[in-house]
Amino acid sequence: MASEAPPAPDPSMIRTAHAAFRRDLVRARIVAAGGDRDGRRLVLGDHLVWLMGALRRHHEAEDALYPLVVDRQPAAAPLVATVDAEHGAIAPAAGVLEEAAREFAEGAEPDRLLSALTDLDSVLLPHLEREEAELVPVALGSLSAEQWQDWQRLRAAGATSPAQRALEVHWLLDGADPSTRGAVLARMPAVPRLLHRLRRRAYARRSRKLWAGTPAARVPALTLQNYADWT
């Protein structure tokens, strides 16, 4: 019997990033609402501030990608305009969450943080679904391999440092399925792949401080297909 073919590699990695954002927002809500949150206030607050920075960088990378799609597929212009407007609506909600995360880290009750998570979900989650269901397929069918490579180089250049980028890859692949992990790691050049291995323990320590001993530790990468199982 012939084995089932693995899913085609996604050079955008947009779906992979979206699954990581969903995962950590669900994890953050579990910890913030849980009974043992006080011991994790500082690390959770810091992580959410970092996460919103990662979301901004993700949107900046998309803002550089989608005009290339319109150049190749002019009919996609209205969809790209809608996505751009959604980016504009998400940015203030992300800023409110950052502020609430800092207050939570300093000892505030979790009510504002939980409210900010809900408000971000209300604008972010439909946006992620629209991109994955409508825009990513257009991009994958439009851009050449060379354009994807150029965009990935630009995206990597936006990282704070090679070491931070290596740590971000661990975050990106946390709880991902084996085919996704293999596809992402196979595209990494030799030096970033080495840095990725060297940062494994640092990411594991960070994860333990954030999620260990809580139900959040069991939350995998959350795709469109399995998100409802964890909310």
Residue 1 has pLDDT above 60, yes or no: no
Which overall architecture, per CATH, does domain 14-160+210-225 show? Up-down Bundle (1.20)
Tokens of 124: 């972010």
Q: What b/e readout covers 88-116, taking b as 16+ CB neighbours within 10 angstroms? A: eebeebbebbbebbebbbeeeebebbbeb
pLDDT of residue 115: 98
Sketch the domain layout of the chain as residue ranges.
Answer: 14-160+210-225
Residue 4 has pLDDT above 60, yes or no: no
| pTM of the predicted model as reported, rounded to 2 decimal places | 0.90
Chain Cα centroid distance, residue 73: 26
Question: Lowest-pLDDT range, 104-108, 176-180, 183-187?
Answer: 183-187
Could you tell me the pLDDT band of residue 7, with boundaries at 50, 70 and 90? very low
Contact 205, 35 (CB under 8 A): no
* Mean pLDDT across 52-79: 94
pLDDT of residue 76: 96
